[in-house]
């Protein structure tokens, strides 16, 4: 509920496969090979962190809110 006690309708959108598509494209591979590469890597990636919000995190897009 919002501050006035009313329900606030929201919609959530996620990236779907945009992140996988991006890495397949830059590595020149397909999903199957990308999966094999990920499984072959050491857990933790040496501390690397990837934030997968390529098109924002949620909708609606209210940049001035």
Q: Which residues neighbour 20 within 8 Å (Cβ) at sequence distance 6 or greater?
A: 31, 34
Confidence (pLDDT) at 61: 65
The average pLDDT across 24-47 equals: 92
- The reported pLDDT for the residue numbered 25 is 96
Tens digits of residue pLDDT in 9-27: 776 666 778 888 999 999 9
* Residues 34 and 20: beta-carbon distance below 8 Å: yes
């Amino acid at each position: 509920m919002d501050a006035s006690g009313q329900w606030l309708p929201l919609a959530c959108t996620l990236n779907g496969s945009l992140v996988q598509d991006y890495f397949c494209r830059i590595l020149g591979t397909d999903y199957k090979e990308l999966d094999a590469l990920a499984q072959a890597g050491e857990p933790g990636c040496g501390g690397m962190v990837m934030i997968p919000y390529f098109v924002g995190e949620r909708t609606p897009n209210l940049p001035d809110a």
